[in-house]
Chain A
Amino acid sequence: MTDLTLSQPRQGLPAWAGRLPVALLLAVAFGVVPFVGDQYLFDAILVPFLALSLAGVGLNLLTGYAGQVSLGSAAFMAVGAFASYNFILRIEGLPLLAGLALGGVTAAAVGLVFGLPSLRLKGFYLAVSTLAAQFFVQWALTKFDWFSNGNASGVITAPPLTVLGISFDSSVGRYLFSLIVVALLTLAAWRLTRSEIGRSFIAVRDRDVAASSLGISVLRVKLLAFAVSSFIVGVAGALWAFAYLRTVEPAGFDLDRSFQILFIVIIGGLASIRGAFLGAGFIVIFPLILSRLGQALLGDTFDSGVLENAQKIVVGGLIIAFLIAEPAGLSALVARLTRRNLN
C-alpha cells in the first residue's frame, strides 16, 4: 500500500490548533452559508456534496482503514434509502431520525451478510464478490414492488423532513438537515478511527497475521468494518434520496454510483476522513465546471451527446492524471500545502 499517513498532531502547536480549521469550517457551514447561499447552491451542490461525502466517509472506514475493497457501496446506499422509506411509511408516528437510523441498521445488516466473503477472500476477489451485493440489491428493489409501496418501477418519494415539529422542507432546510446528520456521523467516524477498534482496523489491513497474533479477531474486525461502514453509507443513501433527489428509483444506485464513491475515497485519500470531503467536493463540482466550460467554449455547436462523451473523456483522463500526480490523494496534497504554509 501507499504511505497511508494518518494526520498527526503538528509539532509545536497545541492540540486545539489542529482542530481550529474544522471548527471554523463548521461555524461557516452553520452560521454563514445558510444566510448567503442561494437555492442552486443548496440543491445542486451542497446537499449532494454532503451526502456523497458521508458515503465516502463510510466507504473509507471499510476500504481505507480496514483495507477491504468494496464495489457495492451504491447497494448499501439503496438499502439505507429504501429501508428508511419503508420504516417511516409503515410505522405510524416513527420520527424521521429514527427512520434514518433504522435504515442505517438495515444497511449494516445487509453489509454484514455481503461482508461474509471477506473472511475467505482478499483483494480483487473480495472486490468482485461485493458486486454480488450491487446486482442483487438492485434487482430485488426493482423486482418486488413491496419495497416501493407498490410502485411498478420501484420509485419512492421522500417523506416530509420534519424533526421535533420543525420542517426542513426548503432548500436551506434540506441543507441544514443534511449538514447536521453528516456532521454527527462524521464525528462518530472520526472518534472510531482514534479508538482501539479503529487501530484494529488498521492492524488487520496492514498485517492480519500479526494482528491475530496479538489476539485481535480478524473475523470480528472485518465484519464490524462492513457493518459500521454500511450503516454510514446507508444513511448517506437515505440523505441522497430524501434530501437531494426526493424521488428516487433503484437505478439511481447503480454500479456507476458505487464507482463514484470509490473514486471519492481514492481521489480524496485512503484512510483519511478529511479526504472523503475533498474527494466528494471534487466529484460534485468538477463536472459542473466542465459542462459550464463546455457550453461557454463550444456553445450550441454540438448536441448534448457529444458534450457528454467529451466530458467522459476529460473526467477519465483527469482521474488517470490525478492518480499519477498524487497517488496518496487530495488529503496528502492539502497536508503538504498546510505544512509548508505553517513552517
Chain B
Amino acid sequence: MDFLLEVLVGGLLSGVMYSLVAIGFVLIYKTSGVLNFAQGAQLLFAALTFVSLVEREVPFVAALAITLGAMVVIGLAIERFVLRPLVNQPPITLFMATLGLSYVIEGASQLLWGAQVHGLDLGIDDAPIEAAGIFISQFDLFAAGIAGAMVLALVLFFRKTRTGLAFRAVADDQVAALSVGIRLPRVWVAVWIAAGVVALVSGLLWGARLGVQFSLSLVVLKALPVLVLGGFDSVAGAIVGGLLIGAAEKLAEVYIGPLFGGGIEGWFAYVAALAFLLVRPSGLFGQKLVERV
C-alpha cells in the first residue's frame, strides 16, 4: 500500500512538470490558435544557454538574467518574423511554421553551445526524504514546488494585469478584442515572452532531471497527451491533465509495463488520453461546443 502511494505521489510530482510544459502550449494556443511545436526547442535553448553560461563561470543570477533576456528576444523575433507574416493562415500552416522554427532553434542552440551533454546542478539534493511513512524525492518535491509557483504566478498575471486582461479578451474573441482597441501584436509579444519564461523554468527543471542535451526538446511529446486530455485552451485542463497523466504513467510503468516487457512510457500517455476521450469526448473541462449551422 505504501509502495502504491509512493508511486502515486512520484507520478503526481512529475505530473506537475508536465503541466508546466503544457501551459506553455496553452498560452500560445489561446492567443494565436497555433500548436507551438517549437516549445521543446525553446526549452532546450534556454537550458543549454543557462548551463553553458554557468560552466563559463557566469554567476547563477546573471546567467538566469541573460538567458531570460535571450528568451525575450527570441519571443519578439518569432512574433515579428514568423507569426505576423503568417496571420490569417490556416492552423496547419502555422503548425508547420513552428516545426520549421524548432529546427532553427535546435540548430542554433547546438551550433552555439555544442552538442555534448551537460549536467545541470540546481543545488538540490536528490536524496529521498521520508514523509508520512513514504519516501519522496527531494528534487521532485522542489521541482513541483517551483512549477506550482510558476503556474500560480501565470494565473495571477493573467487575472490581475492589463496585459493579462487583454490576453483573455484576445483568447475569447479576436475580432471583438481588436474592435475595442487591443493591439494584437502587443499581446502576442507578451504571450511569446511568457512562453519563453515557461520554457526557461521547465528547461532548467527538466534539464536538472535528465541532463541538458538534445533529447530535452522531446519533453514536448510528454506535454501533448496532457493537452489532448485537458484541452489546448484550458490552463486548468493543463494542470489537472498533467497530474493525471503523470500519475497514470508512473502507475502503468510499475504495474502494467512488466506485462509488455517495459518501455511503454513512449506511448502509454497517448493511449490513456485517447481512452479517456472515448469515454468523455469533451475532455476534462471542455464545454461541448455546439456548432452553429
A interface residue numbers (CB < 8 A to B):
1-2, 63, 69, 117, 120-121, 123-125, 127-129, 131-132, 135-136, 138-139, 142-143, 209-210, 255, 259, 262-263, 266, 270, 305-306, 309-313, 315-320, 323-324, 327
Contact B108 A313 (CB under 8 A): yes
Q: How large is the interface on B (under 10, 10 to 19, 20 to 34, 35 or more residues)?
A: 35 or more
Asked, given contacts A124-B232, A139-B266, A143-B261, whether A324 binds B85 with beta carbons under 8 Å apart, the answer is: yes
The 9 closest A-B CB pairs, nearest first, are A316-B103, A312-B107, A319-B100, A132-B270, A316-B104, A135-B267, A313-B107, A309-B111, A136-B267
Q: Does B200 contact A (CB under 8 A)?
A: no
- Chain B neighbourhood of A143, CB < 8 A: 260-261, 263
- Chain B neighbourhood of A311, CB < 8 A: 107
Q: Does B293 contact A (CB under 8 A)?
A: yes
Contact of A128 among B81, B89, B102, B227 (CB under 8 A): B227
- Chain A neighbourhood of B278, CB < 8 A: 117, 120
- Chain B neighbourhood of A117, CB < 8 A: 274, 277-278
Q: Which residue of B lies closest to A135 (CB)?
A: B267
Contact B93 A2 (CB under 8 A): yes
Q: Does B91 contact A (CB under 8 A)?
A: yes
Contact of A317 among B85, B104, B264, B277 (CB under 8 A): B104
Interface of chain B, main secondary structure: helix
Contact B97 A124 (CB under 8 A): no
- Chain A neighbourhood of B228, CB < 8 A: 121, 125, 128-129
A162 to chain B, nearest CB (A): 37
- Chain B neighbourhood of A263, CB < 8 A: 96, 99
A172 to chain B, nearest CB (A): 34
B19 to chain A, nearest CB (A): 16
- The 0/1 profile, CB within 8 Å of A marked 1, for residues 249-287 of chain B is 000000000001101101100110110011001000000
Q: Which residue of A lies closest to B227 (CB)?
A: A128
Distance A318 CA – B107 CA, assembled complex (angstroms): 13
Distance A259 CA – B37 CA, assembled complex (angstroms): 11
- Chain B neighbourhood of A135, CB < 8 A: 221, 266-267, 270
**Which residues of B (183-203) have their CB < 8 Å from a CB of A?**
none
Distance A318 CA – B103 CA, assembled complex (angstroms): 10
Q: Does B117 contact A (CB under 8 A)?
A: no
Distance A161 CA – B133 CA, assembled complex (angstroms): 64
- Chain A neighbourhood of B82, CB < 8 A: 320
Contact of A306 among B29, B99, B111 (CB under 8 A): B111
